[in-house]
Amino acid sequence: QVHLAESGGGSVQAGGSLTLSCAASGYTYNWNSWNCLGWFRQVPGKEREGVAAIYRVGGSTYYHHSVKGRFTISRDNAKNTVTLQMNSLKVEDTGMYYCATAFRTTSPLDRVGDFDEWGQGTQVTVSS
């Protein structure tokens, strides 16, 4: 059973913006069960890479160097959602974007294996 659901993907031209959201899917998922939520992207033939991450308590954030200054991750613990605001999109941002949660991770963008709950992904396509 998938407990997370992404939304907000789509197709935009380079320079445009998209907002991705991650929320609990279904009534049984305990939104407070995770400590870190990450956004990952994957393109065919490449490994899944961490794009941004946020800690539920404290709100510390982490960004891949390629998206710093362009992407912003934020959480709304009252609404049980995490948002990834993506601005100044580039063609190389194209990929399937997944949100995932981890109870414990020491390196949220690098340790993909620490994340054990995953959504089904939402496609982001940026054209030139």
Structural tokens at position 77 = 């613990």
Sign of CA dihedral 80, 7, 12, 48: positive
DSSP code, position 83: E
Amino acid at 66: S
Q: Which residues pair with residue 123 across a beta bridge?
A: 96
Q: What are the structure tokens assigned to 90, written together? A: 């580039």
Nearest CA to 71 among 61, 57, 59, 81?
A: 61
Q: What percent of the chain has pLDDT over 90?
A: 82
The 10s digit of each residue's pLDDT in 16-65 is 999 999 998 876 677 888 899 999 999 999 999 999 999 988 999 999 99
> Which amino acid is present at 76?
D
**Residue 91 pLDDT greater than 90, yes or no:** yes
Please report where in the chains the tokens 């870190």 appear, as a residue: 36
